[in-house]
Amino acid sequence: MNPALRRMKDLPSTHLLGAGSAMCAGCGGLLALHEICDLLGARTVFVNAASCMTLLASYPFTPFRGSWLYTAMASAPAGAQGVRDALDILSERGRLPPEQDLTAVALTGDGAATGIGLSATAGAIDRGLDFIYLCYDNEGYGNTGQQSSPATPLGARTATSTGAHGHPASKMDLFAIWVAQRPAYAATVIGADPLDLARKIDRARALKGPRLIHALAPCPPGWSFDPAEGVEIGRLAVKTGIWPLKEYVDGRVVHTHVPHPRLPVEEYLKRQGRFRHLFEPGRDTRVLAQIQSQVDAYWEQVCA
């Protein structure tokens, strides 16, 4: 059996990330992080940009079995650079045996990944920094009230996108931005598909250089749904084609799951209060058609 899948099978979800952390019930970001922590193991340094996951730590304790470093929202790649440089210096001086080396992981939300910290990330990729960049994407600034971010999708209602038609812009394609800079690896994942996630983490661990793991993170309070429905909403994001599961490796993009038949996007949208205004009191046929058209165009290009 694949070693990553064996670890996923044998380890409880609280093995490497403590269970007592005060986070929102049903958090899709925490679900993915549990799985990723189990797979990466304890020999990691998580450089956590200010975000929802910062709430995992209560000084002087964190639930991580490895190391954890807090940074400002824009500074996680710079923090990862410092950690990686220090580890490399210790290795060169013979003070850090290879088997004791650590993996530097920048842990951020989508606000840092697509907005406030994007320039620092681009610089780290350009320098060829050996790190994993883990973005849990709840499509807004979730820790401060779900304001819109560059990752907010078309039509979603947020604390700052309150018009009749919801957010007026389309979601920024973080995966494409990374791929344009030719990193060592990039992948999209979701906690609701742990086997796909495990295979991608296993592949990312085996590589050196800049590596992106971009996880969609269904957010019960920000997206307005029952926490018990989080996994199903994650699965619907994949089944409707709104969240493509894919990876960039060896210079090309490969889709690891092609939904067939693809469900209409409404099956995903109507389960979330942030899109309720598109259905009530009347259907917003223009915006719904625009969202469906964007998804259709994407998959037509993929399958051409």
Sequence spans of domains, the chain = 3-303
The answer to whether 186 and 212 are in contact (CB under 8 A) is: yes
pLDDT of residue 9: 42
**All residues at 6 or more sequence positions from 19 whose CB lies less than 8 Å from its CB, including other chains:** 13, 63
Three-state DSSP class for residue 212: strand
Q: Please give the C-alpha separations between residue 23 and each of 36, 57, 221, in angstroms, as whole numbers.
A: 17, 10, 11
CATH fold, domain 3-303, is Rossmann fold (3.40.50)
271-296 per-residue burial string, b: 16 or more CB within 10 A, e: under 16:
bbebbebbeeeeebeebbeebbebbe
Q: What is the pTM of this model?
A: 0.92
pLDDT in tens, the chain (304 residues): 444 444 434 433 334 454 445 689 999 999 999 999 999 999 999 999 999 999 888 888 888 888 999 999 999 999 999 999 999 999 999 999 999 999 999 999 999 999 999 999 999 999 999 999 999 999 999 989 999 999 999 999 999 998 899 999 999 999 999 999 999 999 999 999 999 999 999 999 999 999 999 999 999 999 999 999 999 999 999 999 999 999 999 999 999 999 999 999 999 999 999 999 999 999 999 999 999 999 999 999 998 8
Q: Residue 66: which of 82, 99, 43 has the closest Cα? A: 43
Structure confidence at residue 127 (pLDDT): 96
The whole-number pLDDT of residue 113 equals 97
Q: What is the CA radius of gyration of the chain?
A: 19
